[in-house]
Chain A
Amino acid sequence: MAVIDVENLTKRYQDLTAIDHISFQVEKGEIVGFLGPNGAGKSTTMKILTGFMPASDGVVRIAGYNVFENPIEVKRRIGYLPEVPPVYPDLTVSEYLMFVARLKGLRGKALHSDVERVVNRVGLTSVFERLIRNISKGFQQRVGLAQALLGNPEVLILDEPTVGLDPRQIREVRSLIKDLAGDHTVILSTHILQEVVATCERVIIINRGHIVADSPLKDLVEQHQTQSARAMSLEEIFLSLTEA
C-alpha cells in the first residue's frame, strides 16, 4: 500500500482553482520531486497533505489515515518544512527544537537524544545556544529542516528545502535528503531542476494545478528523446511541459 495516496485532490479559492483533480501515489522509501513553476500549486498541495489546509474535493491518505478525518494520526507521521521556516526568532535553537520535540510527543531522555541526533545530522552544533534571530538565513533554513526530522517521522514533506542556502550548504542538504531515502518517504518541492536531478528518483511535474508528468526521472528523459528524436535536457522537457 502506498504511504501517500492522493486522489482527485482539488483546491478552489474564490475564483481560482489552484489544483485541479490531481492524483498520485508515493511508495515507502521513495524520494519524489515535486516540480513546477512558481504558482503551479506545489505549496498548496503540500499544505493540504500536511493537514494545514483542507481540500475542496478529493482524498488524501497518509499511511492509511485520511488527513481530514484523522488529522492527529497523520500529523504524528509527517515531518513538514514549510516554504518559510517556521521558527521563533526570540527562542534559541536549543529552546526551539526542544519545544517542537515536545509538540511531537517526545519527553525526557528520548527528547534530548532526538534533539541531539537532528542537530548533528543537520549541522547546528555551532549555533545551538544562539537566538534564532541572530543566526544566518541558511542556518534558519537548517533549523526548519531539523524541526521536520524530529521524532523520526515516516513521511517528510519539504517545501523548497534549499532556498537561501549557499552552494556548499545546498550540496550538504541534498546529500542529507538522499540519505533519508529508504527509511523515510520524502516529497520535495522545488522549482530548481538540478535539485530534482541531484536528489530524486521520481519526478512529478505540476503546471497550473494539473499533473503534466509523473514518472521516474530517466524514463522521462528517454520518453522525450524518442518523441523529439534527439536528447532533450530536463530543462527543455520542463519548459515544453509547462508551456503556457
Chain B
Amino acid sequence: MRNILAIAGKEARIYLTTSTSYVVFACFVLSTAYFFQLFVGQFQMSSLQAMQYGGGAMLEQLNLTDQVMYPLFMNVAVVFLFMLPMLTMRLIAEERRTKTLELLMTSPVRPLEIVLGKYLAALLMVALMLALTLFFPLLLQIFGATTMTDGMHALDWNTIATSYLGMFLLGASFVSIGLLTSSVTDSQIVAVMLAFFVLLMFFVMGSSSATQKGMLGDILTYLSIADHLESFVRGVVKSVDVVYYLSVIFVGLFLTYRVIDAQRWR
C-alpha cells in the first residue's frame, strides 16, 4: 500500500507541476462551460415560450436538472473521451521511452503496485476535473432558485450526486483503458491514438445496436460505455451500470498488470 502511495504521489506531483495537465484542465473547463451556457440559453428560450403559450402545465415540466444539467453531463462524457487519454498517455509509455521503467522494475516494488499507483494518480485527476465542474450546478443553485416557482431548490441535488458518481465511474473506466494503451507502447502518440480508438468503439457500439437485432444487439448495447451513464444522470443508480463500469476498470487494470508483469518473462 505504501509503495502504491509513493508511486501515486510521484505521478500526482508530475501532473500538477507540468503544463500538460493544466492545458487539459483548461480545455475541459472551457468546453464544458460552452455547453453550459448553450443549455442555459436553451432553457431560457423554452421557459419564455412556455410562459407565452403554454402556461403553468408546461412550465412545471421545465426544470434546470433535466434541461440543463442532464445534457451538460451527457456531453461531459464526450469531452472526457477527448481529454482523459491525454492525461493517461504519458503514464507508462514515457517511462518506457526514458528507461525509467527500469528503475521501477528493479526497485523492490510489485508490478501490481506500479499499476495501481499510476491508476490512483489518474483517478485523482478525474476527481479534480469533475470538481471543477461543480461550479455549474452551484451557479444554477445560486441564481436559479429565485426564478423558480418553488423558490427553494433550483436543482435536484440527489440527481446531481448520482450524476457525479456516474461520471466518476465513467472517467475511471476511461483512464483504466488509457493506462492499458499507455502500457503497450513507448510512444505517447500511439498510446493516445489507441485509447481514442478503443473508447470511440465503446461509444459507437450503442448506435450500431439499433441495426443489430437479437442477442448481438443486446450485447452491443450492454457494452456501450456512455449508455450506462444515462440512468446515473437521471438520478438512478442501477447495479447493472455500476457492475459494468467496475468490470471495465478491472479488465483495464488487469491487462495493464499483465503487460507490465510480462516484462519479467520476455
A residues apposed to B, CB below 8 Å: 47, 50-54, 68, 71-72, 75-76, 78, 80, 82-84, 86-91, 95, 99-100, 102-105, 107, 147
B108 adjacent to A105 (CB under 8 Å): yes
- A80 CA / B99 CA spacing, docked (Å): 13
- Known contacts A54-B264, A54-B266, A90-B18: A100-B105 contact under CB 8 Å: no
Residues of A within 8 A of B3 (CB): 102-103
B263 adjacent to A52 (CB under 8 Å): yes
A91 adjacent to B14 (CB under 8 Å): yes
Residues of B within 8 A of A80 (CB): 102-103, 106
Residues of A within 8 A of B98 (CB): 84, 86, 88-89
List which B90-116 residues lie within 8 A (CB) of chain A. 98-100, 102-110
A19 to chain B, nearest CB (A): 16
- A100 CA / B10 CA spacing, docked (Å): 10
- A90 CA / B21 CA spacing, docked (Å): 13
- A80 CA / B14 CA spacing, docked (Å): 23
Of the A-B pairs whose beta carbons lie under 8 Å apart in the complex, a sample of 11, sorted by A's number, is: A52-B102, A80-B102, A80-B106, A84-B98, A84-B99, A88-B14, A91-B14, A99-B6, A102-B6, A103-B3, A107-B2
CB nearest neighbor in B for A79: B106
- Known contacts A100-B107, A107-B2: A91-B99 contact under CB 8 Å: no
B14 to chain A, nearest CB (A): 5
A99 adjacent to B265 (CB under 8 Å): no
B9 proximal to A (CB < 8 A): yes
B258 proximal to A (CB < 8 A): no
B107 adjacent to A104 (CB under 8 Å): yes
Q: A82-B102, A88-B10 are in contact. List 12 more A-B contacts (CB 8 A).
A: A52-B106, A53-B263, A71-B264, A75-B109, A80-B106, A84-B98, A86-B98, A86-B99, A88-B14, A99-B6, A102-B2, A105-B108
Q: Mark B1-29, 1 if CB is under 8 A from A, else 0.
A: 01100110110011001100000000000
- A102 CA / B102 CA spacing, docked (Å): 16
CB nearest neighbor in B for A67: B264
Residues of A within 8 A of B2 (CB): 102, 105, 107
Residues of B within 8 A of A99 (CB): 6, 9-10
A86 adjacent to B100 (CB under 8 Å): yes
CB nearest neighbor in A for B101: A86
- A105 CA / B6 CA spacing, docked (Å): 10
A56 to chain B, nearest CB (A): 10
B245 to chain A, nearest CB (A): 31
Residues of B within 8 A of A103 (CB): 3, 6-7, 103-104, 107-109
- A138 CA / B10 CA spacing, docked (Å): 24
- A100 CA / B9 CA spacing, docked (Å): 12
Residues of A within 8 A of B107 (CB): 75, 100, 103-104
List which B239-266 residues lie within 8 A (CB) of chain A. 263-266
CB nearest neighbor in A for B111: A71
B111 to chain A, nearest CB (A): 10
- Known contacts A51-B105, A54-B264: A95-B13 contact under CB 8 Å: yes
B103 adjacent to A100 (CB under 8 Å): yes
Residues of B within 8 A of A68 (CB): 264
Residues of A within 8 A of B18 (CB): 90
CB nearest neighbor in B for A107: B2
B106 adjacent to A51 (CB under 8 Å): yes
